[in-house]
Amino acid sequence: MPDPMIEPQAERPSWAIIVHGGAKSIAPELEDAHRSGCLLALVAGQAILEAGGSAVDAVETAIRVLEDDPTFNAGYGSVLNAQGQVECNAAIMDGRTLDVGAVAAVGGLRHPISVAASMLSERQVLLVGHGAECFARAHDGEMCAPGDLAVERPDGGCDTVGCVALDIQGHLAAGTSTGGLAGCPQGRVGDSPLPGCGLYADDAIGAVSLSGDGESLIRTTLAARLIHSLEAVPPGPAIEAALTRLAGVGGEAGLIVIDADGRLDWGHNSPQFAVAHARAGQAARAFTERAQDASGELS
């Protein structure tokens, strides 16, 4: 007879992955495109994890798919700043080593997340503008004319893309990529490429990726708060606490989380937040609102 006083421990899934397509309002006619775009990216990342690949590779691969999809404001499909220019930001963090690679305010990269991933082996964490382009050229980054990334966009708001993954070795990684906010001043950088603000990953605790009002996320160092909460509580309550703190300064956000035990969850105070997730033993699913995701037991 099992001891009724001992809580059954859920087994950690061998791998898990969650991607998002931005915290914002999604017009009803664009919901399918958001769900299917997130699913496509998820499946690409999932294939890496199932084959025994690393969480870092899964995150980069999933975000490359999102950067290719003009539904999302990242890579191809980025919004324009006040000068009519594309300026992308992206970052990736390896929870195994705490290495971070990030690029910001850069226009000519076909896949900003891959240039950020190339920086993981460098001492520097963040390169901006022309310096980031020079680094990309020197490291076989795929270059393009900044205008090649722009498309006609019917929607606005926040829609950074992001991904968090746990691999079968037990390592975590997080990533973000964004075209920033439409009409913002030239050179403006939000939370997305800043560890502790738009993303964080630490194998001992968990990994998180955020979207939303970048200035509010920076002021509250929301990714760092989320990570600290995860040291004490499961992802669900940690997300709730982070959104409560954000409410104190205002601003919309969406958050995705996997903790060191492979517990996965997500939340938002924006009207919608496109998300897809999967883990070993649980098929891929996509949603545009947390309330649609019946897995209340996610955490």
38 belongs to the binding site for ligand ASP (CB under 6 A): no
Q: In what order do the strands lie in the sheet with 206-212?
A: 199-202, 206-212, 253-259, 264-268
The length of the chain, given as a count of residues: 299
112 belongs to the binding site for ligand ASP (CB under 6 A): no
Residues 173-192 that bind ligand ASP (CB under 6 A): 178, 180-181, 190-192
Closest by Cα among 210, 185, 182, 180 to 196: 210
212 belongs to the binding site for ligand ASP (CB under 6 A): yes
In the bound complex, what is the minimum distance in angstroms from residue 211's beta carbon to ligand ASP?
Answer: 3
C-alpha dihedral sign at 217, 219, 220, 226? positive
Among 80, 105, 158, 260, binds ligand ASP (CB under 6 A): 158
Token pair belonging to 89: 């930001």
Q: Which is nearer to ligand ASP, 48 or 163 (CB)?
A: 163
Token pair belonging to 101: 């690679």
252 belongs to the binding site for ligand ASP (CB under 6 A): no
CA distance 93 to 244: 25
CA distance 32 to 27: 10
114 belongs to the binding site for ligand ASP (CB under 6 A): no
In the bound complex, what is the minimum distance in angstroms from residue 71's beta carbon to ligand ASP?
Answer: 13
C-alpha dihedral sign at 45, 257, 74, 173? negative
How many positions of this chain bind ligand ASP (CB under 6 A)? 14
H helix or E strand, kind and range, residue 198: none
Catalytic member of 160, 178, 220, 221: 160
In the bound complex, what is the minimum distance in angstroms from residue 297's beta carbon to ligand ASP?
Answer: 28
Assess whether 288 carries a catalytic annotation: no
Q: Which is nearer to ligand ASP, 178 or 229 (CB)?
A: 178
221 belongs to the binding site for ligand ASP (CB under 6 A): no
Q: How many CB atoms sit inside 10 A of residue 158's CB? A: 27
Terminal CA-to-CA distance of the chain, rounded, Å? Answer: 27
160 belongs to the binding site for ligand ASP (CB under 6 A): yes
Using CB positions, name the residue nearest to ligand ASP.
214
Enumerate binding residues for ligand ASP (CB under 6 A).
Answer: 22, 73, 158-160, 178, 180-181, 190-192, 211-212, 214
List, by residue number, the catalytic residues.
160
